[in-house]
Amino acid sequence: MGGEETLTVAVRVKPGASRARVGGRYDGPHGPALVVAVNAPAVDGRATEAARRALAQALGVRPAAVSLRAGAASRDKLFLVAHPEPAVSALLSRLRDGPDG
């Protein structure tokens, strides 16, 4: 099974993007955040749900393992990843900070 019980991931969501993309860094209120651009508009939680699914896919975990902890009405969100494998933290760092980060 995985390492830690949960991993907290700070995310900056960019709704209404022309193409969905996970990668890049944004220094937000929760510290260094992973940028998640989604096609969904910021209406009725659709961008949040799209970001949750995109994050799960990028980290190679089931969507059910990713839940919103804070920021439902904000672009700056905190997601929890339940029971992540040890490699998930390294992958998160690469996505957020680049291969040399």
Of the two residues 87 and 3, the one the predictor is more confident about is: 87
Residues 6+ apart with CB under 8 A from 57: 22, 63
Residues 6+ apart with CB under 8 A from 13: 36, 37, 38, 42, 47, 48, 51, 75, 76, 77
| pLDDT over threshold 90, residue 99 | no
| pLDDT over threshold 60, residue 93 | yes
Residue 101: per-residue pLDDT: 54
pLDDT tens digit sequence for 10-65: 999 999 999 999 999 999 999 999 999 999 999 999 999 999 999 999 999 999 99
Structural contact between residues 63 and 52, judged by C-beta atoms closer than 8 angstroms = yes
Residue 2: per-residue pLDDT: 47
Delimit the domains of the chain by residue range: 6-97
pLDDT tens digit sequence for 73-88: 999 999 999 988 889 9
Superfamily of segment(s) 6-97: YggU-like (3.30.1200.10)
Q: Which two tokens stand for residue 20?
A: 């969905």
How many C-alpha atoms does 83 have within 13 Å on its Cβ side? Answer: 7
Of the two residues 2 and 68, the one the predictor is more confident about is: 68
Q: Which two tokens stand for residue 84?
A: 């992540």
Residue 98: per-residue pLDDT: 86
- If one counts every other C-beta atom within 10 angstroms of the C-beta of residue 19, the result is 7
